[in-house]
Amino acid sequence: MQHTQLGRTALKVSRLCLGTMNFGPKTPEAESHQIMDRSLEHGLDFFDTANVYGWDLGKGATEEIIGRWFAQGGGRRDRVVLATKVYGNMTDAPNDRGLSARNIVAACEGSLRRLQTDWIDLYQMHHVDRAAPWEEIWQAMELLVQQGKVRYVGSSNFAGWHLALAQETARRRNFLGLVSEQCIYNLLTRWAELDVIPAAEHYGIGIIPWSPLHGGALGGALAKIAAGTADRATSGRSSEVIEEHRESLEAYEKLAAEVGMSPANLGLAWLLSRPGVTAPIIGPRTAEQLDEAVPVTHQSLDEATLARLDELFPPVGKGGPSPEAWAW
């Protein structure tokens, strides 16, 4: 497994990030523990979760599953770069959500208890809170860093101008500020190339793409549907995306076969080739799915394949950052 620095920091993380959203609701606890053990065997040591994950089992259930895995010992916690998130409501109480100083600190304490750890390596804001002043947000984050409960701070689902505002406010406070941005980014969703990624590169913020296969559409969905093994691809938004892009997806799956890669790994390899990308988040539901993804960090795409992918899934406008993507 290859490693790289997280944004402008000296922290090293694996080039794939283990997403844990399936742990509990879709993947039983014992198998979730197996996936995390297997991840460390592969050298994949960057884990991502959130306080609200757990859904039908109850918010916080996923962090608790990870916490019980850490509690098994064997150096598990020390070997993992652990990321979690704050923003979503854990209860119906009005102050139990968002990015107020009160909720940031209280949510961190709750995550630490569930995760059975003394510190969080990367504490991410799950969404923008337009009601929270940046002075308040940074005051709370600075406190957590000073207390040793948080090492680095990241964001998720921020616009480019939010990254700039956050960093300029942090700079005035002599605080490190954001080191990562977790955004949706894949061949079918390239909006981040307009402003988010240029802003992140300017400020030394690492990009951690979520939904790198666009809900499975880029993971060989058409072949799975034909074989009767499709899961998410046959219902809801995924089916609509597949129908809208069926022609491109057919060509994409054919291209994957031509270059000797699975469709899923082709999509991941494309992301790993993109400027500013630190580590796409993969969400394996089984250990076998994890094993299939890991080799992609040692695979590269030639210029012809990259050009063909641009033809199949064009960037927004003329390509590249705004305003050049749409202006003369």
Domain at 73, CATH number: 3.20.20.100
Chunked in runs of 10, what are the mean pLDDT values of the chain (328 residues)?
A: 97 98 96 98 98 93 98 97 96 95 98 98 97 97 98 98 98 98 98 98 98 94 85 65 93 96 97 97 95 95 97 95 93
Distance CA(240)–CA(305), nearest Å, equals 26
Determine, yes or no, domain membership for 105.
yes
Determine, yes or no, domain membership for 229.
no
Determine, yes or no, domain membership for 72.
yes
Given the residues 53, 87, 123, 203, the one annotated as active site? 53
Cβ atoms 125, 205 nearer than 8 A: no
Q: Extract the runs of DSSP E, i.e. beta strands, from 10-80.
A: 12-14, 17-19, 46-48
Please name the helix (run of DSSP H) or strand (run of DSSP E) that holds residue 136, with its range, or none: helix 134-146
| pLDDT for the residue numbered 25 | 94
Show the tokens assigned to 121.
């390596």
Cβ atoms 58, 93 nearer than 8 A: no
Q: How many domains does the chain have?
A: 1
Determine, yes or no, domain membership for 26.
yes
Nearest Cα neighbor of 277 from 296, 258, 254 is 296
* pLDDT, tens digit, 9 for 90 and up, residues 282-293: 999 999 999 999
* pLDDT, tens digit, 9 for 90 and up, residues 304-313: 999 999 999 9
- Residue 112: which residues within 8 A CB-CB, separation 6 or more? 118, 119, 120, 149
53 included as an active-site residue: yes
Determine, yes or no, domain membership for 224.
no
Its domain, for residue 68, covers 3-219+263-312
- Kindly give the pairing relationship between strand 3-5 and strand 12-14: antiparallel
User: In which residue are the tokens 């960057």 written?
Assistant: 46
| pLDDT for the residue numbered 236 | 53
Determine, yes or no, domain membership for 37.
yes
Please name the helix (run of DSSP H) or strand (run of DSSP E) that holds residue 156, with its range, or none: strand 150-156
Burial group, residue 218, by CB count within 10 angstroms (0-12, 13-18, 19+)? buried
* pLDDT, tens digit, 9 for 90 and up, residues 137-168: 999 999 999 999 999 999 999 999 999 999 99
| pLDDT for the residue numbered 228 | 83
Determine, yes or no, domain membership for 91.
yes
Determine, yes or no, domain membership for 103.
yes
